Amino acid sequence: MTHARLGLGFDLAFVLEEAGAVRSVSCQVDALWDKLAGVQAWLERPWVSLSTPATRQAAEALLLDADAGPSPGWRHVDCQAPGGGVIPLLCSLARVGADIVAFARDVRAMNFNSIVLRHDAEVASAYARSLRDDGLALETVWLEVLAPAARRLGDLWAEDVCTFTEVTEGLGRLQEVLRTFDTPGPLVVPAIKEPRRILLAACPGEQHTFGLAMLAAFFRKAGWHVRHETNLSAAELVHAVSRTWFGVVGLSASGDRQLDALAASIQALRRKSSNPAVRIMVGGKVFTDRPELAAQVGADATAFDGRQAVHVAQCLIDTDAKRA
């Protein structure tokens, strides 16, 4: 059967009998086909039964909608591979003559930025989970997949390729993916003057906050007690550090227009902080491009990513502990 005439890009195609059982399977990707050793185990089984319990409802809905016309839409369905494991798929069912054909795209082979812009957070999370299942470290997923995707979304907006709404929605999906993997352990209330207590805040008016959310995830993973804020005014920020003891305060800014206000905020934080020796770090694109600006605004340090930020913050409090 020639499926290309339908104009649908796909990696796998399942031809189903009227009752929904799998009659044949075809694949357009050699590498994927090689991983499907034992695919005959799928034959004569209900197509819906190949899906995982978590995505079975989506598979059933696709099968019910198959008579509505060609390609009623794509839905995320995780398929249980014959040899074990799960293949995250985007599936669309269509009637072709007397048959129903389930077309499927392997989410793992798709462009992640395209997923973030065109599909929901569930599909993006499936992509990230597949990378973890393949052995990629969590920090690598954050730094090498999510962070570049966020930067690319910003570039697409600057290049006028995507609208502000599209970029905002894409960043929202990235936030949801990050939350999927950012799972703090049991709540432990730290001692009042626990050095590993950090306040992470965006500069007032800052719109780029995904990096700050990722930074918070890095610190939580490292065992820090994190307070993460994105909408505090300068006065509210000063009030927060005057009422609560923090070992470190991290501030995020993306543009140099915020530097004067940031310098003034840092001075006020040092004057009013309940921790007279509070350490202040700064981050964001402006400091990644010009790290020497950190000293100019009165900060103790900067870092170019979350992994380095945790290390630098730990070095700051370790140095203070030795002096004490």
Burial (CB count within 10 angstroms: exposed 0-12, middle 13-18, buried 19+), residue 255: middle
CA distances from 26 to 38, 84, 94, 138 (A): 13, 19, 15, 33
- pLDDT (tens digit per residue) in 130-158: 888 777 788 888 888 888 888 888 778 77
Q: Calculate helix-pair angle for 210-221, 164-181, nearest 10 degrees.
A: 10
Strands across the sheet containing 225-229: 225-229, 197-202, 248-252, 279-283, 301-302
Mean pLDDT of 54-76: 77
Tell me how many helices (H) and strands (E) the chain has.
Answer: 13, 10
pLDDT for res 192? 61
Burial (CB count within 10 angstroms: exposed 0-12, middle 13-18, buried 19+), residue 11: buried
Question: Which three-class secondary structure state does DSSP give residue 70?
Answer: coil
> What's the CA gap between 134 and 71, in Å, rounded?
31
Domains of the chain: 4-109 (3.30.450.20), 112-181 (1.10.1240), 197-323 (3.40.50.280)
- pLDDT (tens digit per residue) in 276-297: 999 999 998 889 889 999 999 9
- pLDDT (tens digit per residue) in 88-118: 888 888 877 778 888 888 888 888 888 888 8
Confidence of residue 7 (pLDDT cuts 50, 70, 90): very low
Strands across the sheet containing 22-27: 22-27, 12-16, 99-106, 86-96, 75-80
